[in-house]
Structure 1
Amino acid sequence: MLADLARYPLWWREVRAAEQVGERAARLRCRSLLPYDLVFETHHDTRDRVAGVLKARLVGDLDGTAAWRIRPSGTGTLLRYEQEVTVTKPLLRRLALVARPALVANHGLMMRSGNRGLRTYLAGYQAGRRP
């Protein structure tokens, strides 16, 4: 599910659009509560199922890296999302100092929403696979 970038809008409502631009790459358009979009390409450079790592390079309004790290935890799975990016969108760079609390809150909202959306999506996926 995490490697299928084109399907992110199905479970992560803030990912408003995903356009496949390569076998392991997509252009994503994201918007949370604040009235601005972030558009960037995500290129999955590392896909290691054994280690439970899916890592991507981000290029566009966000430049940097993002990674999903997956490992067993009790009877379930622990999923950790790590992101190290620089915002390159000029408007956000100009507003960064004065609007930082709002930007941080907006990002937190998007991350919590993605967590809920993925849990819901996976629950439906698992329910559909049961005999």
Structure 2
Amino acid sequence: MDWTHYRFRSLWTLPVPPAAVYAVLERPEEYPRWWRQVRDVTRLDDTTGVVRIRSLLPYDLTFTAREVRRDPEAGVLEAVLSGDVDGWARWTVTAAASGSLARYDQVVDVNKPLLSRLAVPGRPFFLANHWLMMRAGRRGLLAHLQAV
């Protein structure tokens, strides 16, 4: 098993139309306004930006995200990631009985030296840290959508 390889999936049910959710998710430079663990996003051009995140554990991850798919009709946003993590991430927003389902999939290899050295003993903590970050993201997005 490669202890620095991670596959994540988060499902967020949101009581708002899919188009409203997609409209917020397609603007990553605004994520820090509603998702406190996304510390900053710096746009480099129309499809690329540098992202810095930090959740409960005392470390930042910084990576470049380059958009490879933006499909509003399918509700898909996908990016390739490189830096402290290498891999990809994808949002898929669809209609659900209660409004929307925002599905987040991510497959990455962690390159940050400290996290690589702590890969085996730290893995349960890293997984919990990611779960907490995603839970906070859903809460922040919902509050943002309800305020708009």
The two structures have a TM-score, normalised by structure 1, of 0.92
Q: Deviations over 1:48-75 (max 9, x none)?
A: 1111111111111111010000111124
Structure 2 distance, partners of 1:74, 1:105, is 29
- CA RMSD of the aligned region, Å? 0.9
Question: Could you tell me whether the CA contact under 8 Å between 1:63 and 1:85 is conserved in 2?
Answer: yes
Q: Percent identity?
A: 48
Question: Could you tell me whether the CA contact under 8 Å between 1:12 and 1:118 is conserved in 2?
Answer: yes
Q: Hey, what does 1:129 align to over in structure 2?
A: none
Q: How does 1:1-131 map to 2 (within 5 A)?
A: 1-125=24-148
Cα 1:75–1:106 change in 2 (3 A) is closer
Q: Which amino acid aligns with 1:91?
A: L
Which is bigger in relative contact order (C-alpha 8 A, separation at least 6)?
2
Question: Could you tell me whether the CA contact under 8 Å between 1:28 and 1:40 is conserved in 2?
Answer: yes
CA apart distance, 1:26: 1.3
Question: Could you tell me whether the CA contact under 8 Å between 1:5 and 1:25 is conserved in 2?
Answer: no
Structure 1 stretches of at least 4 aligned residues deviating more than 2 Å after TM superposition:
none
Q: Deviations over 1:79-129 (max 9, x none)?
A: 10000111110110110101111111111110101111111111111xxxx
Unpaired runs of 5+ residues, structure 2, are 1-23
Structure 2 distance, partners of 1:120, 1:96, is 34
Unpaired runs of 5+ residues, structure 1, are 126-131
> Helix, strand or coil for the counterpart of 1:29?
strand
Structure 2 distance, partners of 1:115, 1:66, is 16
Question: Could you tell me whether the CA contact under 8 Å between 1:8 and 1:15 is conserved in 2?
Answer: yes
> Helix, strand or coil for the counterpart of 1:22?
coil
Q: Hey, what does 2:3 align to over in structure 1?
A: none
Structure 1 distance, partners of 2:115, 2:143, is 31
